[in-house]
Chain A
């Protein structure tokens, strides 16, 4: 070990020290080949951190009561000591903005710098989802545009009116994403210029679609007519923005804003394990390197390790603290495991990962970071060793069986099944009901039909689905029908018209029949 010349010894931070640490960590990060956006490190107070929390980390955002709700509940939890504040928030922008809390000790500040400013930052810059779906250079501008636009709408049309539209859009926010098509990059400059043109153009287009006067008794030739849209549409908000018959131009713009913001957050929802794992792996690696170089003290390392271990702790399923798989824990372990496989492969590794065992770990890890999302990352890199360490087991929950079944555990025959099941667990389109726009009755009553395609017979939660339909009805303004489809037969229909909700279910009868059958037996 070299001679120890630590950057600092106390626990208090100063701006000079932060600068020194940042320089050192940045140097080490470059030595490891991390490619980052420039950093903007902002020191904020706890109150400001609470503010940042409730706006889901966006530095500027339009006003809406739901953010107030988050704020109020976070504040309450924080005051009562039920919740600690995150040490940091980092924003996918260029320059990459990271918030550091003033309450942190010097060690924590260094940890956060390594974690956010070099870990997350390089992930934002490198990962393919972020590269395709978000535009780091323009997001802040766009948020400013959105905030101002919504403020102007509130002035012109009243807070209640705007709030109602936003509520409805938020209900559909998860369905405002193009999953397969690369969206147009958003930029504030362009937005402003194009926004007015678009308003007029859109309205014209919509009028075109609805030009036919609705006629009754049209049903005879209904089957000959092609459905509109011809192919089912997954992006509900986009479809509404472009096709809703009675929306005002400004309302379309509001729909668009919510849609764009949903799009911006889409990659984050798909890369939680990888993103946190990557950042945790790098803060661990970078700070250990500084320790080897003698730049930090033993005390620093103890404090750092204490906090690091609690971050990557995975409580077992039967623990009081268990709330699902900890993405930090899984991500960090997988990242470290990839390094291990590259550097010291065992026989098992050579069998399971013939192409990466023994390769250069930095290259392999960077490749993994750049080209995967949680789902495929787990599918590709979850090793038997990690499965064993986590003691993973897989449960099958089938409502047709009385008991739950353990289908696989952390043993030889189970590895592949576990990996498969865990990978699916991170597949967003598996977790969210698959709902698409199926048909619009263009020539008749203008009703819109959505189809929910059931996977593994999993039904929709009806109560909230009804609420969402009411919101959709507010946007569409004509009847809204949601059909739940299984094996090409419609099981459930919920219709939301001007007079409220109507329900029709074929499934209930079936169940009752089954029940009566069982009773007879």
Chain B
């Protein structure tokens, strides 16, 4: 007889633990591969996994086996022209000695030197953002409409009927009944035994009166036991749920970019990659995240993503226009006591000369006190201009302001890591 079982609904990720063990063991290799991958591929496809390759000998499990040399017989199928006594040349590298007779086949396979496997996007990002930390990760709480969640907090004696914990209540009732009827039940048992003993005797010899007495006693005890209520109000137990305020973790990210004539498409692409990295990093830390795109040349404009990155503009550059706009939007829509605000600005460093001090002023007075972190990247292979020097004075005084220079796409990820490295490691290095 056979039993047929449908197991398809059982968990299918039985190997997850083993897989994680494997990743854990080869952390260093994977980390290296991820870092390499990031500099190579475009940031826009960061939302896929990555294939990791590890030298096969690093992960091999050793066991005793024969090496080359010595004498051995091998039997193979498919003889075509050999006859007994033939001499044939030793094949190069193949089945000379090692292996188990299948040397030719496995040695000629492709990529046998590397063990290649795929990690998922999540794992990829985990490795990517490992040891990175959001600076100033003080999550601000929403005032007024604070949201709550209920958490279990054990079992209590009082509560409303909807929250009765049936199992615990019944357990309580059972133990109460056992406790309260213990002596009666013992006496009942004794009485019954006596009665039974009596009834075994010959009817003639039986003590009728005693029998009646016992029967009365038994009836009385049974009544007493039955009087104990099955469930009493003191048995009832209730589940307790406590209301806990849920800290909100909303973040908004401001992307500011210079789109003046001096910024070419390659520069914009680099800026885009930086913004995307930042966006993904924030997304791992906050449940909800909004992005505001502000582009500027001589005047600033809030736009959608598509326009932000791809539409073309020309003209001069006034950086302060964008900062002013950011300040206004923050005031209108993202009050700092509700939102965690992050600012990222990308520019080629060009600005009207007399505008740079204005930028500094707006940043220091209006923006920096409100934001968690503000980063400025200058995409410019040449030497710095006025804006960089103004910003340098800010960096010297304000802790949550950071700036870096990027000159080619390969710099983006290292610069990003630099900006968000964990404080301890930064100090250590």
Contact residue among B2, B62, B80 (Cβ-Cβ distance under 8 Å from A39):
B2
Chain A interface mostly: mixed
Contact in complex: B78, A314 (CB < 8 Å)? yes
Residues of B within 8 A of A19 (CB): 2, 4
Contact residue among A15, A167, A394, A432 (Cβ-Cβ distance under 8 Å from B73):
A394
Residues of B within 8 A of A188 (CB): none
CA A185 – CA B97 in complex, angstroms?
Answer: 38
Asked if B397 lies at the interface with its beta carbon under 8 angstroms from chain A, I say: no
B127 CB to nearest A CB, Å: 15
Q: Name the residue of chain B whose CB is nearest to the CB of A317.
A: B76
Asked if A281 lies at the interface with its beta carbon under 8 angstroms from chain B, I say: no
Contact in complex: B72, A456 (CB < 8 Å)? yes
Contact in complex: A432, B105 (CB < 8 Å)? no
Contact in complex: A392, B87 (CB < 8 Å)? no
Within 8 A of A (CB), among B19-57: 19-25
B305 CB to nearest A CB, Å: 32
Contact in complex: B86, A406 (CB < 8 Å)? yes
Within 8 A of B (CB), among A400-420: 400, 402-411, 413-414, 418
CA A50 – CA B18 in complex, angstroms?
Answer: 13
Asked if A268 lies at the interface with its beta carbon under 8 angstroms from chain B, I say: no
Asked if B74 lies at the interface with its beta carbon under 8 angstroms from chain A, I say: yes
CA A472 – CA B13 in complex, angstroms?
Answer: 33
Size band of the interface chain A makes with B: 35 or more
Asked if A55 lies at the interface with its beta carbon under 8 angstroms from chain B, I say: yes
CA A340 – CA B384 in complex, angstroms?
Answer: 90
Contact in complex: B68, A399 (CB < 8 Å)? yes
A159 CB to nearest B CB, Å: 8
Contact in complex: B75, A393 (CB < 8 Å)? yes
Q: Name the residue of chain A whose CB is nearest to the CB of B83.
A: A409
Query: Which of B113-121, B162-170, B227-235, B334-342 contacts its partner?
Result: B113-121
B66 CB to nearest A CB, Å: 5
Contact in complex: B78, A317 (CB < 8 Å)? yes
Contact in complex: A425, B21 (CB < 8 Å)? no
Q: Name the residue of chain A whose CB is nearest to the CB of B10.
A: A48
Residues of A within 8 A of B7 (CB): 42-44, 48, 99
Query: Which of B88-96, B252-260, B262-270, B399-407 contacts its partner?
Result: B88-96
Contact in complex: B6, A43 (CB < 8 Å)? yes
Contact in complex: A171, B77 (CB < 8 Å)? no
Contact in complex: A22, B4 (CB < 8 Å)? yes
Interface size on B, residues (CB 8 A): 67
Residues of A within 8 A of B83 (CB): 406, 409
Contact in complex: B13, A51 (CB < 8 Å)? yes
Contact in complex: A459, B66 (CB < 8 Å)? yes
Contact in complex: B101, A324 (CB < 8 Å)? yes
Contact in complex: B25, A65 (CB < 8 Å)? yes
CA A42 – CA B4 in complex, angstroms?
Answer: 6
Contact in complex: A314, B77 (CB < 8 Å)? yes
B421 CB to nearest A CB, Å: 27
Residues of A within 8 A of B21 (CB): 63-65, 68, 159, 163
Residues of B within 8 A of A503 (CB): none
Q: Name the residue of chain A whose CB is nearest to the CB of B2.
A: A39
Residues of B within 8 A of A38 (CB): 1-3
B94 CB to nearest A CB, Å: 11
Within 8 A of B (CB), among A24-72: 26, 38-45, 47-48, 50-51, 54-55, 63-69, 71-72
Q: Name the residue of chain A whose CB is nearest to the CB of B78.
A: A316
Contact in complex: B19, A41 (CB < 8 Å)? no
Contact in complex: B79, A391 (CB < 8 Å)? yes
Residues of B within 8 A of A409 (CB): 79, 82-84
Asked if A175 lies at the interface with its beta carbon under 8 angstroms from chain B, I say: yes
Knowing A95-B3, A316-B77, A464-B62 are in contact, say whether A399-B18 is a contact too (CB < 8 A).
no
CA A386 – CA B195 in complex, angstroms?
Answer: 87
Asked if A471 lies at the interface with its beta carbon under 8 angstroms from chain B, I say: yes
Within 8 A of A (CB), among B60-76: 60-76
CA A167 – CA B21 in complex, angstroms?
Answer: 13
Asked if B85 lies at the interface with its beta carbon under 8 angstroms from chain A, I say: yes
Asked if B8 lies at the interface with its beta carbon under 8 angstroms from chain A, I say: yes
Knowing A95-B3, A403-B87 are in contact, say whether A75-B68 is a contact too (CB < 8 A).
no
Contact residue among B15, B88, B116 (Cβ-Cβ distance under 8 Å from A404):
B88
Residues of B within 8 A of A302 (CB): none
Q: Name the residue of chain B whose CB is nearest to the CB of A422.
A: B75
Residues of A within 8 A of B61 (CB): 66, 167, 170-171
Contact in complex: A173, B63 (CB < 8 Å)? yes
Contact in complex: B73, A71 (CB < 8 Å)? no
Contact residue among A48, A318, A464 (Cβ-Cβ distance under 8 Å from B78):
A318
Asked if A323 lies at the interface with its beta carbon under 8 angstroms from chain B, I say: yes
Residues of B within 8 A of A50 (CB): 15
Contact in complex: A457, B69 (CB < 8 Å)? yes
Q: Name the residue of chain A whose CB is nearest to the CB of B87.
A: A403
Contact in complex: A468, B62 (CB < 8 Å)? yes
Residues of B within 8 A of A86 (CB): none
Asked if B157 lies at the interface with its beta carbon under 8 angstroms from chain A, I say: no
Residues of A within 8 A of B15 (CB): 50-51, 54-55, 67-68, 71
Asked if A325 lies at the interface with its beta carbon under 8 angstroms from chain B, I say: yes
CA A172 – CA B62 in complex, angstroms?
Answer: 9
Sample of 27 A–B contacts (CB below 8 Å): A26-B2, A43-B4, A47-B12, A50-B15, A63-B21, A64-B18, A68-B15, A72-B22, A73-B115, A76-B117, A79-B118, A314-B78, A319-B78, A322-B102, A324-B102, A390-B78, A391-B78, A391-B79, A392-B79, A409-B82, A411-B84, A422-B75, A425-B74, A433-B66, A456-B72, A458-B97, A459-B68
Known contacts A171-B63, A318-B80, A464-B64; can you find 7 more A-B pairs with CB under 8 A? A40-B2, A42-B6, A43-B4, A175-B64, A397-B72, A459-B70, A461-B65
Top 8 A-B pairs ranked by shortest CB distance?
A: A316-B78, A68-B22, A458-B70, A467-B62, A68-B18, A461-B67, A39-B2, A317-B76
Residue positions of A touching B, CB distance < 8 A: 15, 18-19, 22, 26, 38-45, 47-48, 50-51, 54-55, 63-69, 71-73, 75-76, 79, 95, 99, 102, 117, 159, 163, 167, 170-175, 314-325, 390-400, 402-411, 413-414, 418, 421-422, 424-425, 431-433, 435, 452, 454-462, 464-465, 467-468, 471
